[in-house]
């Protein structure tokens, strides 16, 4: 199928080269109102991706101990990773064992997928539960809302607060036509007075920190991010996050970090920089170039769930370890187990509150996760045919057995085999 609209491949194929700048470190913490985020790294909201299973997976894949970091001895996985003898997956075992004592996650704040404020206000309790489910180990966690009606957004923010989220975020970046068509997401970037109304209504409705994530503007001739950030500060919001592209840009070209710097200079509330961070070097470079208070990472997380831990290690020591093929295999299995556990835990709930599509999620994840693994395209073709989770698992097992037999365990970081990680259809929102 001919590709139209925005694709991601272009940017990832031409990454900016980054070297660790002197004195540039991702900050150890950032305070969003009453919520301390430590370290100052945020998992970006991603529709279809950052559900509760994925969020917990990232939080735990990011665990490290301070001692391990200071010894420059951080393993991408624990010692057992190298053994690759994995138990058969079965339902009902907790996928995440008790975490290492004193361990800290390299991911400071998790964000939900965007959720429609209109939908939330109207939804049955059971369905709400599916959208707003999170577990204790996800704190601190922010819920993101989109919409255009100030009262509805305020009502939805109240629900978010009552549900126990630590922060509530407003989406002003989504370029999807169906969202923009209702004047939501990036559509609002053309109506600053309306944004002002929304800021005031939501601010009045909740006491938890209130943040906003936006793009630079509708297009290059209508850049509003600096003005918007000032408005946010004036209306009592606790932080702003900028994906440094315009709506018209979609995901093409490179993020224009200079606008993150401009926003940072304009306000005193924390500024979270977002766009094209694919490595610890890039995270440090964004801080150096823009002075941002925190970094937000989206597309790199599903293909490299270790990125937050790598940033923590890089910040502490100037270097970081890369996952081996065995690490990848183990982590895929952990994620699959988590999906099965969640499906099992929700199986007796009403249909709309269940965690469904387990096989679909397995396929999706295996696709992201074999990005860069030699021969990964063959696996992706095989799992494309799979209909149930067990078949996906069998393909993954057989693929990695062959990889490991070929002694890839201790091999270098594998070469990219060119898969388009987020095809156009996946880019529903921002």
Residues at the interface with ligand FMN (CB under 6 A): 44-49, 113-114, 144, 171, 173-174, 213, 243, 274-277, 297-300, 422, 426-427, 429-430
Minimum gap (Å) between residue 108 Cβ and ligand FMN:
15
Comparison of 35 and 170: residue with beta carbon closer to ligand FMN: 170
Nearest CB to ligand FMN, comparing residues 46 and 311: 46
Query: Quick one: 120 or 409, whose CB is closer to ligand FMN?
Result: 120
The CB-nearest residue to ligand FMN is 298
Q: What is the 3-state secondary structure (H, E, C) of the chain?
A: CCCCCCCCHHHHHCCCCCCCCCCCCCCCCEEECCEEECCCEEECCCCCCCCHHHHHHHHHHCEEEHHHHHCCCCCCCCHHHHHCCCCCCCCCCCCCCCCCCCEEECCCEEEEEEEEHHHHHHCCHHHHHHHHCCCHHHCCEEEEEECCCHHHHHHHHHHHHHHCCCEEEEEECCCCHHHHCCCCHHHHHHCHHHHHHHHHHHHHHCCCCEEEEEECECCCCCECHHHHHHHHHHCCCCEEEEECCCCCCCCCCCCCCHHHHHHHHHCCCCEEEECCCCCHHHHHHHHHHHCCCEEEECCHHHHCCCHHHHHHHHHHHCCCCCCCHHHHHHHHHHHHHHHHHHHHHCCCCCHHHCCCCHHHHHHHHHHHHCCCCCCHHHHHHHHHHCCCHHHHHHHHHHHHHHHHHCCCCCCCCCCCCCCCCCCHHHCCCC
The yes-or-no answer on residue 76 being catalytic is no
Smallest distance, ligand FMN to C-beta of residue 112, A: 8
Q: Cβ of residue 48: shortest distance to ligand FMN, in angstroms?
A: 6
How many Å apart are CA 137 and CA 140, to the nearest integer? Answer: 8
Nearer to ligand FMN, 325 or 427 (CB): 427
Q: How far is the CB of 368 from ligand FMN (least distance, A)?
A: 10
Nearer to ligand FMN, 147 or 173 (CB): 173
CB 15 to ligand FMN: min, Å: 11
- Nearer residue to ligand FMN within complex by CB, 8 or 69: 8
Asked if 404 and 326 touch (Cβ cutoff 8 Å), the reply is yes
Active-site residue (options: 107, 174, 225, 292): 174
Cβ at position 187, least distance to ligand FMN in Å: 13
Work out whether strand 41-43 and strand 35-37 pair parallel, antiparallel, or are unpaired.
Answer: unpaired
Q: How far is the CB of 245 from ligand FMN (least distance, A)?
A: 7
- Nearest 10 degrees: Cα torsion 290, 60, 374, 280: 20
Of 201 and 300, which has the nearer Cβ to ligand FMN?
300
Q: Which residues contact 265 (CB under 8 A, 6 or more apart)?
A: 291
Kindly tell me which of 275 and 414 has the beta carbon lying closer to ligand FMN: 275
* Residue 21 burial class via C-beta count within 10 angstroms: exposed 0-12, middle 13-18, buried 19 and up: middle
- Tell the smallest beta-carbon distance from residue 11 to ligand FMN (Å): 7
Catalytic residue list: 174
């Amino acid at each position: 199928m001919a590709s139209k609209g925005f694709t991601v491949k272009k940017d990832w194929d031409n990454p900016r080269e980054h070297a660790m700048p002197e004195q540039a470190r991702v900050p150890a913490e950032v305070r969003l109102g009453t919520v301390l985020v430590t370290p100052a790294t945020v998992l970006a909201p991603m529709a279809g991706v950052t559900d509760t299973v994925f969020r917990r997976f990232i939080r735990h894949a990011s665990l490290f101990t301070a001692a391990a970091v200071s010894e420059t001895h951080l393993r991408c996985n624990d010692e057992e990773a190298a053994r690759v003898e994995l138990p058969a997956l079965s339902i009902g075992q907790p996928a995440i064992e008790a975490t290492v004592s004193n361990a800290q996650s390299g991911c400071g704040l998790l964000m939900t997928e965007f959720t429609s404020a209109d939908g939330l206000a109207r939804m049955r309790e059971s369905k709400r539960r599916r959208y707003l489910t999170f577990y204790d180990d996800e704190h601190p966690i922010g819920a993101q809302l989109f919409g255009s009606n100030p009262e509805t957004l305020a009502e939805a923010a109240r629900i978010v607060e009552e549900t126990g989220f630590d922060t509530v975020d407003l989406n002003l970046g989504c370029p999807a036509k169906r969202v923009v068509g209702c004047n939501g997401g990036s559509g609002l970037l053309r109506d600053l007075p309306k944004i002002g109304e929304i800021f005031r209504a939501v601010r009045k409705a909740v006491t938890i920190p209130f943040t906003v994530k936006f793009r630079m503007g509708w297009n290059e001739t209508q850049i509003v991010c600096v003005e918007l950030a000032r408005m946010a500060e004036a209306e009592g919001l606790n932080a702003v996050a900028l994906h440094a592209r315009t709506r018209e840009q979609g995901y093409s070209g490179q993020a224009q970090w200079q606008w993150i710097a401009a926003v940072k200079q304009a306000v005193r509330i924390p500024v979270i920089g977002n766009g094209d961070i694919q490595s610890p070097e890039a995270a440090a470079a964004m801080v150096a170039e823009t002075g941002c208070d925190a970094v937000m990472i989206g597309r790199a997380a599903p293909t490299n769930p270790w990125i937050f831990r790598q940033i923590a290690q890089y910040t502490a020591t100037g270097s970081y370890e890369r996952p081996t093929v065995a690490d990848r295999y183990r982590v895929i299995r952990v994620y699959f187990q988590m999906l099965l556990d969640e499906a099992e835990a929700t199986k007796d709930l009403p249909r709309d509150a269940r965690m469904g599509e387990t096989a679909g999620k397995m396929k999706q994840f295996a696709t992201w996760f074999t990005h860069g693994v030699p021969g990964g395209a063959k696996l992706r073709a095989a799992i494309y045919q799979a209909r149930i989770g067990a078949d996906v698992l069998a393909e993954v097992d057989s693929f990695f057995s062959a990889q490991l037999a070929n002694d890839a365990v201790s091999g270098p970081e594998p070469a990219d085999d060119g898969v388009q990680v987020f095809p156009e259809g996946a880019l529903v929102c921002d």
